[in-house]
Structure 1
């Protein structure tokens, strides 16, 4: 009987100090785990939204290029890309980079003594027949700090541009259009038979690649 009363009195005293400390530690660990899960979920949602935005930009550029293939202006801006290379001609690294990229705006023209270095013909931005030229990308070839650290290089500085949101002005996406010309056979014409374009969309802040797509681009003659 005395032992039962003693045990009851001991139980009524509650947890020991060690038990309380252990309980607090476990509770804190649970809160930290929960906070981590919430944070990771938030990051995942943000990344999904960024990729959705990038997919919109990718498709916008793709559809725009398909349309521009019908009216020549972007082709004229990239004449050097669409001319079949002379057999046996050795290109410099700069020439190879130019041939392997499409530029989508006058701001991407490289000049020497105020003349286009690769024979680019500037797009007519105001046209009474077709209306004003809709800019999709603008380039910053002389702004050394324009690109995020991850993307900085002499080549990228020339060929990665900033996507232009038609409603909000500049956006947080970067665009690069790489060109792959199929193995050249006799009589092959890049304009008529097309070149393969890889449209890449990057995050302007981090430089991470968000999405890409491949397009066979044919210029209607």
Structure 2
């Protein structure tokens, strides 16, 4: 029984690939129901240890879980959830491994913080690019494209397709909202040279031929070599 319980407590750690010693200890303390110790370890780790994005994410996440279990104010819980979500907005929790009430609390905050952008284009199957100016991160999808888990911020959108002029615009994604962008792409117009080049080449060729014929017709008879006069005889 003890071994089974120990394995059950380790399952979330293994599933989340927690490699940092102190982060793992803090999460383990949480699953041992030692919420104050868990929060102490994790907060100390956040302040004093160099952590990667995923380690920071889980540290803030489990501090929030500890606050829920200790009955803290919801504003504090939301603050720690928000910090975790800001670090890795695309990270998803496994509802089979997180207690249902904690999972629901996290999802509710996440939905209120993140927005969704849907990009439609005419014609379809264009490439929609969402660019986050602050990080220069670029996300590419084929239209109709759905961009989820977007922080409340300003983004640049580009839509491209071969044979059509590119579309570009700045947009603001609203937290907790689903926005739609409809884009109509215009076909590229050929340049003047590209449109009339075949006719121009034909006209030039015809003019050259006429010039050659005309120039050939104006020629006179072939020139005669100069006549050599006889030398007068010498005097006697």
What's the TM-score, normalizing by structure 1? 0.22
Greater share of residues in helix: 2
Q: TM-score, normalised by structure 2?
A: 0.21
Higher normalized contact order (CA 8 Å, seq sep 6+, divided by chain length): 1
Larger Rg over CA atoms: 2
